Amino acid sequence: MSFEVTILGSGSALPTLRRNPTAQYIACNDRHILIDCGEGTQNQLRKFGVKIQKINHIFISHMHGDHFFGLVGLLSSMHLLGRDNGINIYGPKELEQIIRLQLEIGGAKMNFNLNFTALDNSKPTVIFEDKMIEVHSFPMKHRIPVNGFKIQEKEKEFNIIGEVFKESGLSLMSIPFFKNGEDFVDENGQIHYAENFIMAKKSPKSYAYCSDTAYFEPLIPSIQGVNLLYHEATFIEKLADRAKATFHSTAKDAAIIAQKANVGKLILGHLSARYDSGDEHLKEAQTIFENTIIAEDGMIFQV
Amino acid sequence: MSFEVTILGSGSALPTLRRNPTAQYIACNDRHILIDCGEGTQNQLRKFGVKIQKINHIFISHMHGDHFFGLVGLLSSMHLLGRDNGINIYGPKELEQIIRLQLEIGGAKMNFNLNFTALDNSKPTVIFEDKMIEVHSFPMKHRIPVNGFKIQEKEKEFNIIGEVFKESGLSLMSIPFFKNGEDFVDENGQIHYAENFIMAKKSPKSYAYCSDTAYFEPLIPSIQGVNLLYHEATFIEKLADRAKATFHSTAKDAAIIAQKANVGKLILGHLSARYDSGDEHLKEAQTIFENTIIAEDGMIFQV
């Protein structure tokens, strides 16, 4: 099973030719997720070879345009491409009105359902769950209400070592026990230890997305120990005042959060248009958190 | 004085990597105009080197998303880039609500005025006029109300031949007469013929934009004799049925209109995503109207 994050846009409110506004595509155990959808996201999806119709969950962090202006265009294209299976959209309650209004005025009769879920912004919440993954939202701190998101694989069953099981001649009844990591007692009362029949389990992976937010320690418990963290770093410390005034983070802020949350790897994104490369961001962050990388549009990360 | 049309998007509802959704930038005698504004238009403006802040008039033809989904993002970027002079937006009355709603929800307090003018769709109308240009709207035929636009230079004053005038020793009072092409009678009753003092005048140029529309002869008087016509050609004749059903034109339809309106040159645009090149469109149109070209994103036309 794979768990991949594709950066569709690594820029901030003012897009540049190098950095599109924010969007990310996450493929996790055959779940296809879009987080945020700035203007031009559908074009980025095409450019980077993502199949638009696979996406079935869209999470919108907040109502600043660089995080949602591309959504109505993407939904229109899904319709024109013949989609008939519904799509699940999670975001601030105002999002539904804006999307439906634009589609209605244009006279579009969509052939698929838009299932909106208005997100709570008061506390960490599980907003989606199935047998393979969980998605959590958690409040962050910005000029308007904003959620971060965490995507987490669920604990998997143990895989059984086929050859060992065959040689043992045990009945199939034993399998559910071993898959749960439990020992099996046969009809003669003999104990068959699970550890002899199962492979080491891969630990579930997790990815967290924090954009946009000021430096905000209360979000740390929600992202504690994730394998991969995307955190906004609109500015560097030279513009710390500007970061504070606009409720954004500096590269240093993001690195401190990554360190305190003990994450595996940190991606910095949402870079202000004033920075051509992210070289200064990287240098600043790595003095605090070594395993850092600057997001570029089109990058793919294995979680 | 120059009069140039830059194609920012030559595609139709479903954008492709080759063709963005519809938008055009027109620079006419120092007036800077945007017609339609599909998703990603601000990026196209950047890509093709147009200075965003120069634009002071935006005309939106109709409320299908591929003609306006990029407007709110463009206005946001104008704001972030420090704009303080107002912008004039002309379009269907529903446009204002959609734009203001999105900006308000995001908490954007724009530093410049958005001056909306709701366009009439019942008859040809002069919607903007100053001493250099006129802009006309005219109804076309589509699934929802839609306007075409014509941009027309005004008749200019005559330019005076400086040397001849100097040598004549005539008083400055004669200049306004000559500029109007009128003869001047001096205080001795002598007639000075304007034709000796003025250069041949360039005739005023005009450009018309017709997208989206079915084949629609009633628009011909509004575009009669323009130097340059952009007409949609979403389909070719093989899909004439589909054109009829969706209220779009074929390449042949557009060519017939160009011929009947006796225009100088025809540009075909708004090509359906199903066509990779416009080769078949061109062949079809040129059997009827030879001076035809297929629009490509980034093309610049001198009117």
Token pair 């027309």: residue: B152
3-state class (DSSP) for residue A67: helix
Q: What is the pLDDT of residue A194?
A: 93
Q: What is the pLDDT of residue B30?
A: 92
Give yes or no for residue B1 having a pLDDT over 70. Answer: no
Bridge partners of residue B88, in order along the sequence: B57, B115
Decide if B105 and A77 are in contact by the 8 Å CB cutoff. Answer: no
Give yes or no for residue A40 having a pLDDT over 90. Answer: yes
Q: Using the 8-state DSSP alphabet, how is residue A49 labeled?
A: T
Average pLDDT over residues A279-283: 98
Strand order in the sheet with B300-302: B114-118, B87-91, B57-59, B31-37, B23-28, B3-9, B300-302
Average pLDDT over residues A104-111: 84
Chain B hits for A15, Cβ within 8 Å: 42-43, 77
Give yes or no for residue A1 having a pLDDT over 90. Answer: no
Residue A99 and residue A90: Cα distance in Å, rounded?
A: 12
Query: For chain A, what percent of residues have pLDDT higher than 70?
Result: 100
What residue ranges define each of the domains in chain A, with the CATH number in brackets?
A: 3-156+202-295 (3.60.15.10), 162-196 (no CATH)
Distance from CA of B10 to the nearest CA of A (A): 15
Render pLDDT for B108-165 as a digit per residue (tens, 0 to 9). Answer: 788 999 999 999 889 999 999 999 999 999 999 999 999 999 999 998 888 899 999 9
Distance from CA of A204 to the nearest CA of B (A): 36
| B43-65 residues labelled b (16+ CB within 10 A) or e (exposed) | bbbeeeebebbebebbbbbbbbb
Interface of A with B in 69-88 (CB under 8 A): 69-70, 72-73, 76-77, 80-81
Query: For chain B, what percent of residues have pLDDT higher than 70?
Result: 100
Given CB atoms, is B264 within the 8 Å cutoff of chain A? Answer: no
Q: What is the pLDDT of residue A63?
A: 96
Q: What is the pLDDT of residue B203?
A: 87
Decide if A101 and B98 are in contact by the 8 Å CB cutoff. Answer: yes
Q: Classify residue A210 as left (phi > 0), alpha (psi -120 to 50) or beta.
A: beta
Given CB atoms, is B202 within the 8 Å cutoff of chain A? Answer: no
Q: What is the pLDDT of residue B224?
A: 98
Q: What is the pLDDT of residue B155?
A: 87
Residues 6+ apart with CB under 8 A from B145: B62, B92, B121, B139
Q: What is the pLDDT of residue B23?
A: 98
Residues 6+ apart with CB under 8 A from A183: A177, A191, A192, A193, A194
Q: What is the pLDDT of residue A128?
A: 97
Given CB atoms, is B47 within the 8 Å cutoff of chain A? Answer: yes
Token pair 């009362």: residue: A189
Residue A24 and residue B90: Cα distance in Å, rounded?
A: 34
Residue B201: pLDDT band by 50, 70, 90 thresholds?
A: confident
Closest CB to A81: pick one of B14, B76, B97. Answer: B14
Chain B hits for A76, Cβ within 8 Å: 13, 65-66, 69
Q: What is the pLDDT of residue A202?
A: 82
Which segments within B119-242 are labelled E, that is strand? 125-129, 133-139, 147-153, 184-185, 191-192, 206-210, 228-232
How many CB atoms are located within 10 Å of the residue B160 CB? Answer: 16
Say what angle helices B251-260 and B279-286 make with each other, to 10 degrees: 40
- B302 sits in which H/E element: strand B300-302
Average pLDDT over residues B17-27: 97
Q: Which of A30, A36, A66, A183 is catalytic?
A: A66
Token pair 């009809």: residue: A187
Distance from CA of B171 to the nearest CA of A (A): 56
Chain B hits for A270, Cβ within 8 Å: none
Q: Which of B66, B212, B253, B297 is catalytic?
A: B66
Render pLDDT for A136-191 as a digit per residue (tens, 0 to 9). Answer: 999 999 999 999 999 999 988 898 999 999 999 999 999 999 999 999 999 899 99
Residue B191: pLDDT band by 50, 70, 90 thresholds?
A: very high
Q: Most A CBs within 10 Å: which of B36, B76, B100, B247, as the mutation test of the A interface?
A: B76
Chain A hits for B46, Cβ within 8 Å: 16-17
Joined tokens for residue B67 = 């003609």
Given CB atoms, is A108 within the 8 Å cutoff of chain B? Answer: yes
Q: What is the pLDDT of residue A267?
A: 98
Query: For chain A, what percent of residues have pLDDT higher than 90?
Result: 91
Q: What is the pLDDT of residue A108?
A: 76
Residue B66 falls in the annotated catalytic set = yes
Mean pLDDT of chain B: 95
3-state class (DSSP) for residue A242: helix
